[in-house]
Structure 1
Amino acid sequence: MTTTTQLLIRKDDLSSTRIRTTEDAALAKGQVRLRIDRFALTANNITYAAFGESMNYWQFFPTGEEGWGCIPVWGFGSVVQSLHPGVAVGERLYGYVPMASSIVLAPERLSPARFADGAPHRAALPAVYNQYFRCASDPLYTSGTEDLQALLRPLFITSWLIDDFFDDNDFFGARPGVVLLSSASSKTAYGTAFQMHRRDGIEVVGLTSATNKAFCESLGCYHRVLAYEELDQVAADAACVYVDFAGNGELRRAIHTRFPQLRHDCVIGGTHVEQLAPAGSAKELPGPRATFFFAPAQIKKRTTEWGEQAFGQRMVQAWQDFLATVAQPTAPWLVAEHHDGAAAVQAAYAQVLSGRGDPRIGHILSLSR
């Protein structure tokens, strides 16, 4: 009998974790068991936990235990058992997985490039998160860069969509103008800056902690990088939009108060978990109401307008450009650090949750080693 190991998180206290190991049930007809070989843990996954209830992230991989959740992550795995005629043992897959050593999937809507998990509890959840990409036919896959793909691929796709969303809306009247990005050292923020930096009439300003300022400046994708306490260096009368990766309520208040020409406040994540604003508090601020960005909605819009093939071609080209820049051997933006085994995974989670650490290090975890 094989077993599965999971990292469980208290939904009401994200710092409280425990390891659970359970015996695997036999597969049903049409199911496959995926050994999860490696997955990335980033601030984005902390956002999944912080908004787990309101955005339904806890529902993807239910634990069956009241009050305890399993955070979704992005990673690679190999099929170790299969009762599905269309999926062979040994096949390599990339997709949305739990922080665990394995997962059972029910493949449906198979194509050479991908399939969807047909588990009933996922049927009403966004389809984009239920897709598993077959590495042998995946145009975004390269065998030598799995670590960087796990760390950056889902984040960059979000970054690319954020940039497209703002361009699609002509930056809400703030072009020419300023884009303010909080948590500028985070991967989704600098992926967004990488795209927006190429837009005419836009000054991309990264906001970060004083300790991460030099790192953000070294990337070259921000026109300016300011520490949070240096916000007053941006002209108060500037037409601007705010892209919030931090979820810091005090920073939001400062931006809404300082900039009467703030045209849009776009909420992406909550990396500053300890400073998340109470629900509803943003309603009291002057200027536009803070609005969540939901990537699947922009995907649906663009695939309808451009067609799936054209959408995919544009995304692949953007991804290849970004990956080549990040992985440049002389000055890489990101270096992977591996954490194998239950104790190492718990420690890495605590470090990422704290928001401290070298932004140039990307954490790759495994509970199957």
Structure 2
Amino acid sequence: MTTITTLLVRQDDLAQTRLRQSPAAPVGAGDIRVRVDAFALTANNITYAAMGGMLQYWQFFPSGEDGWGIVPVWGFGTVVESAHEGLPVGERLYGYWPMATEVVLTPARVSAAGFADGAAHRAGLHPVYNQYLRAASDPFYQPDTEDLQALLRPLYITSWLIDDFLDDNQHFGATRMLLSSASSKTAWGTALELSRRTGLEVVGLTSASNQAFCERLGCYHRVVAYDALESLTPDTPSVYIDFAGSVALRQRVHAHVSGLRYSCAVGASHVHDLGGAGQLPGPRPVMFFAPAQVKKRNADWGAAGLNARLVASWQQLLGAVQAPPTPWVQVQHHRGPAATQALFDALRQGGGDPALGHMATLQG
């Protein structure tokens, strides 16, 4: 019997990780076994882990061990064993995977576009994360941009939905958008969309070491180092879009920006400084949950209408991030269990070159 290698993360202490070898799960009637070929590891996955209990991320791929979880990742897999007549061996799939060498899925509602995982433990989880797309019919898919799709597609869709949500709410009457962790991919994706809106100033907040990188992107009207936050005009009507999750930074923003109209909590890239809202001046931070905006727009436009808008914007993004002479993203590959474990730990600690995008595989 073959074995599966899985990266486990301690749910209450993300610094604790270990590699587990376990027997491969059997493929039952209607199931498929998928080899997890490659996946992106970004600050977004650290957010999944940091908020795994609150937002049910630990439940997608239960570890079977108390206190230990499997962090979900976005990427590509290949069907290597099939007991489902509609999904042949060799089929290339894009979707939500465990950090493991393989996984057994139970396809439901199979179509030319893809399917949902019908496993019982995923029935109550948000359907956006349960969808698997067939690369051959995916309008986003291009074989030569698989890495960028794994790295940027889920982040950019979140970025696009944040921009859409804010526009849908007339930006809460604000004219200035403040984005923390401005060097993160979800933040600059959001900034790119916001910068196309008229009447808005898009301000990136970042560490001094990442300020030059953020300015080079060209999607921020202004970039301000965290240390210079208090140089911002306080009474300008503003929205704070918090990708950092830092308690200290949130307190400073709320205390200084008297014109704050809305505080949108998105990510947790600063995992060492997470916490609740506490007693803050101004509006109470509201967690942004991308699937809720997807549900709204599916109702407004239909799934096809939403997808057409996303594909068009995705093509624009690819043009921006790959433009010479300096692409926004340079891909690094990390192969094998030890390399993937080390990468997760490095991302958890923060820092690193914001221009790098990391693709990993647990395959040896």
Aligning the two structures, in what range does the TM-score lie when normalised by the shorter sequence?
Answer: over 0.9
TM-score of the superposed pair, with normalisation by structure 2: 0.99
Post-superposition, which runs of at least 4 consecutive aligned residues in structure 1 deviate over 2 A? none
State the SS of the aligned residue for 2:140. coil
Aligned residues: 364
Match of 2:40 in 1: 40
Match of 1:199 in 2: 197
What is the CA–CA distance in structure 2 between the aligned matches of 1:232 and 1:260, rounded to whole Å?
Answer: 11
User: CA RMSD of the aligned region, Å?
Assistant: 0.8
What is the CA–CA distance in structure 1 between the aligned matches of 2:68 and 2:26, rounded to whole Å?
Answer: 24
What is the CA–CA distance in structure 2 between the aligned matches of 1:30 and 1:88, rounded to whole Å?
Answer: 12
| Counterpart amino acid of residue 348 in structure 1 | L
Match of 2:75 in 1: 75
What is the CA–CA distance in structure 1 between the aligned matches of 2:215 and 2:350, rounded to whole Å?
Answer: 19
1:211 aligns with 2:209: yes
Match of 1:184 in 2: 182
1:213-292 paired onto structure 2 within 5 Å: 213-277=211-275, 279=276, 282-292=277-287
State the SS of the aligned residue for 2:354. coil
What is the CA–CA distance in structure 2 between the aligned matches of 1:303 and 1:236, rounded to whole Å?
Answer: 37
Match of 1:105 in 2: 105
Match of 1:127 in 2: 127
8 Å CA contact 2:25–2:104 kept in 1: the answer is no
State the SS of the aligned residue for 1:307. helix
Deviation digits for residues 104-160 of structure 1 (CA, Å, limit 9, x no counterpart) = 100011111110000000000000000001000000010001111100000000000
- After TM superposition, the structure 1 stretch with the greater mean CA deviation from structure 2, 88-97 or 346-355, is 346-355
1:160-175 paired onto structure 2 within 5 Å: 160-174=160-174
8 Å CA contact 2:268–2:274 kept in 1: the answer is yes
State the SS of the aligned residue for 2:158. helix
- After TM superposition, the structure 1 stretch with the greater mean CA deviation from structure 2, 210-219 or 325-334, is 325-334
What is the CA–CA distance in structure 2 between the aligned matches of 1:364 and 1:237, rounded to whole Å?
Answer: 42
8 Å CA contact 1:37–1:78 kept in 2: the answer is yes
Specify which of 343, 346, 349 is matched with residue 351 of structure 1: 346
Displacement after TM superposition at 1:233 (Å)? 2.2
What is the CA–CA distance in structure 1 between the aligned matches of 2:257 and 2:357, rounded to whole Å?
Answer: 34
Displacement after TM superposition at 1:26 (Å)? 2.0
Deviation digits for residues 168-215 of structure 1 (CA, Å, limit 9, x no counterpart) = 0000111xx210000000000000000000111110000011111111
Match of 1:337 in 2: 332
1:29-68 paired onto structure 2 within 5 Å: 29-68=29-68
Deviation digits for residues 226-284 of structure 1 (CA, Å, limit 9, x no counterpart) = 1101112210111000000000001111111111220100000111000112x3xx241
What is the CA–CA distance in structure 2 between the aligned matches of 1:260 and 1:360, rounded to whole Å?
Answer: 33
Match of 2:298 in 1: 303
State the SS of the aligned residue for 1:13. coil
What is the CA–CA distance in structure 1 between the aligned matches of 2:105 and 2:25, rounded to whole Å?
Answer: 13
- Gaps of at least 5 residues in structure 1 are none
Displacement after TM superposition at 1:324 (Å)? 1.3
What is the CA–CA distance in structure 1 between the aligned matches of 2:185 and 2:211, rounded to whole Å?
Answer: 14
Match of 2:91 in 1: 91
What is the CA–CA distance in structure 2 between the aligned matches of 1:41 and 1:183, rounded to whole Å?
Answer: 17
Match of 2:357 in 1: 362
What is the CA–CA distance in structure 2 between the aligned matches of 1:230 and 1:23, rounded to whole Å?
Answer: 54
8 Å CA contact 1:102–1:368 kept in 2: the answer is no
What is the CA–CA distance in structure 2 between the aligned matches of 1:232 and 1:284, rounded to whole Å?
Answer: 20
State the SS of the aligned residue for 2:97. strand
| Counterpart amino acid of residue 223 in structure 1 | H
**% identity of equivalent residues:** 58
What is the CA–CA distance in structure 2 between the aligned matches of 1:2 and 1:329, rounded to whole Å?
Answer: 45
1:313 aligns with 2:308: yes
8 Å CA contact 1:100–1:367 kept in 2: the answer is yes
- After TM superposition, the structure 1 stretch with the greater mean CA deviation from structure 2, 190-199 or 22-31, is 22-31
What is the CA–CA distance in structure 2 between the aligned matches of 1:322 and 1:234, rounded to whole Å?
Answer: 29
What is the CA–CA distance in structure 2 between the aligned matches of 1:173 and 1:356, rounded to whole Å?
Answer: 34
What is the CA–CA distance in structure 2 between the aligned matches of 1:245 and 1:21, rounded to whole Å?
Answer: 35
8 Å CA contact 2:36–2:77 kept in 1: the answer is yes
